[in-house]
Chain A
């Protein structure tokens, strides 16, 4: 199922703000949208792994957050919180990156009059991330061959070395690739000054409307609910003041 890039952008913004600011239930409701969309793209394994980790972290946090778990436990609980908050954002961005074609994105941004000076760098990002993952995979392979594992005596002794081994080659190769990508774009005539056409057809369909409505309903109910609790706590506050 294809969504318009503008819907995806809306989804990303709304989902991220709800996930970061609302209670977990609303976060889970927003999480469901990219998860279902990714299932429709047949990314079963990704969704399954992501969803189980998310569920474990979220339930763990809800269950443990009011308990006294000690100093180490607090570290664990806060990690759970970070995971349950950050993962939905990850999945939304993954969905957008995976399914948006570069030229569709350019067309959609032109449609809502975002200046090309801003959209061209953003498009480079869409193209850039999969390349980075591709590189990271190759580097991981090289590390395993040299016997550098994520968890070993050596890495336990020097936890930062693993970061260095991973990042140094990655940074070197991605700076080079970034440069080559820009060269590829400019020699093919991509330029902020000139007008361009687009072969990709973009436009709103039923699925876009459904996603829009769903996002609005979830956000709306969260706003109303929080309004209710706010009102309730205000009443409580007043009665406490006068009694």
Chain B
């Protein structure tokens, strides 16, 4: 089924003056896989909502132009009918389920299409086979990992067999192994002749599948390439547009040579502070027979950034929690919304401070480029700013070790660099950082040590310097 957007403009407000999408023309042929890339806020997610009918049927605003699915104009048909043709997968695996158990979720779309019961059961069986979901059947959604949830989301959308799939940053919360599974799913859809639209700035996993990449800027398609064309332009070029690495296998090459020099100097300076924090006997178990975490001893190099890698369920988050309990480590959560409580940014920083000193608090905020927001409500800030407020409250609590849980998930290249810079500044100011992450680009950018966790034990620990290739291999194997 072809997707045609003809002279489409859209604004979330009453007038088209502040339009998010401006006079957009886009045609996606049946059976193509197209990536909509671009920096945060460029309008790429809005385009996906135009295709799956959430605009104009769910989000209100002003729209002009036509969006056609095949011959049908989305403005003329209901969302329920659009859902027959378009299946949507969203970024947040936590909230894209309507049911509480996996079986019902896969059947849900078919039920809404009023298919006969026997046919639905057959389809569910077939989908379970196709997606290898046997182990996940009959499970409570709340007990699944992020990757498992995303798999169920894809499967349940596929069950209604729509002609078009729209995925909005589906890889944002996944590790590289799960991303590889996602890649297989998308490849299978394409092979079956479906049209696939993926909104994404991590392009590497779609390199072999995508027919073209549309780069969105200011609500228009600014550039179009095939993945090969983009790769040929070089990593520097992609980075300058805010795109993440196109080919992970070549990640050690061009883009990082520049950084290498810097980090050699930086780590040289750090060598003088050669010192480590030693933890002993870190254990955790829900059940004595099956310890989740069993680490007799491990060392954290002081005033440096250490990356904690390992596949989902290896015990990374558990290690972070145990460290928080045992030492005075401070954890910056993946969802920072959970840890901002007060009415103003300044108060947030003062909350954990003993004794409270407004001047010092303002200095901390200035260090994080937040001084102009000191009296704003934390919830009114952008995601990156919120993260920095959370960091500020960690700094003000006077703790030496700061742990980050996936600080760069879902970020584009520029935002990732900003987070790296903040973390580096923090390390130079005398904090010891441990970062749980699945993001190889980020690690290569600012971390100096790697701890690889496997089955609740430390599999390996090594400095990044000179081991870049090994790191990439480990992460791809995961």
Binding site for B on A (CB under 8 A): 101-103, 123, 126-127, 130-131, 134-135, 138-139, 141-143, 145-148, 164-166, 168-169, 172-173, 176-177, 180-191, 193-200
Residues of B within 8 A of A195 (CB): 114
How long is the Cα–Cα vector from A148 to B335 in the complex, in angstroms?
Answer: 19
**Residues A183 and B90 in contact in the complex (CB < 8 Å), given A127-B100, A172-B337, A189-B83:** yes
**A interface majority secondary structure:** helix
Residues of B within 8 A of A184 (CB): 90, 95-98
Is B470 in contact with chain A by the CB < 8 A criterion?
no
Q: Which of the segments B102-110, B174-182, B259-267, B419-427 contacts the partner chain? A: B102-110
B142 touches A191 (CB 8 A): no
A187 touches B341 (CB 8 A): no
Residues of B within 8 A of A147 (CB): 352, 397
Is B58 in contact with chain A by the CB < 8 A criterion?
yes
How long is the Cα–Cα vector from A184 to B113 in the complex, in angstroms?
Answer: 15
Residue from the list A143, A164, A166, A185 in contact with B98, Cβ < 8 A: A185
Residue from the list A101, A146, A169, A173 in contact with B99, Cβ < 8 A: A101
How distant is B282 from chain A, measured CB to nearest CB, in Å?
Answer: 17
Contact flags B77-94 to A (C-beta < 8 A → 1, else 0): 011100110111010101
8 nearest A-B residue pairs (beta carbon): A189-B83, A180-B95, A189-B112, A142-B339, A165-B341, A191-B80, A187-B88, A184-B96
Can you name 8 A-B residue pairings with CB atoms under 8 Å?
Answer: A130-B142, A139-B339, A142-B333, A181-B98, A188-B112, A191-B78, A196-B114, A198-B111
Nearest A residue (CB) for B324: A145
How long is the Cα–Cα vector from A165 to B80 in the complex, in angstroms?
Answer: 40
A191 touches B79 (CB 8 A): yes
Residue from the list A126, A138, A196, A200 in contact with B112, Cβ < 8 A: A196
Name the residue in A141, A145, A190 with the highest tally of chain B Cβ atoms < 10 Å from its Cβ. A145
**Residues A169 and B339 in contact in the complex (CB < 8 Å), given A130-B100, A195-B114:** yes
A101 touches B104 (CB 8 A): yes
A103 touches B107 (CB 8 A): yes
Nearest B residue (CB) for A187: B88
Residues of B within 8 A of A145 (CB): 324, 330-331, 339
Known: A194-B114, A196-B111. 10 other contacts (CB 8 A): A102-B100, A103-B111, A143-B341, A147-B352, A165-B341, A177-B95, A187-B52, A187-B86, A188-B109, A193-B80
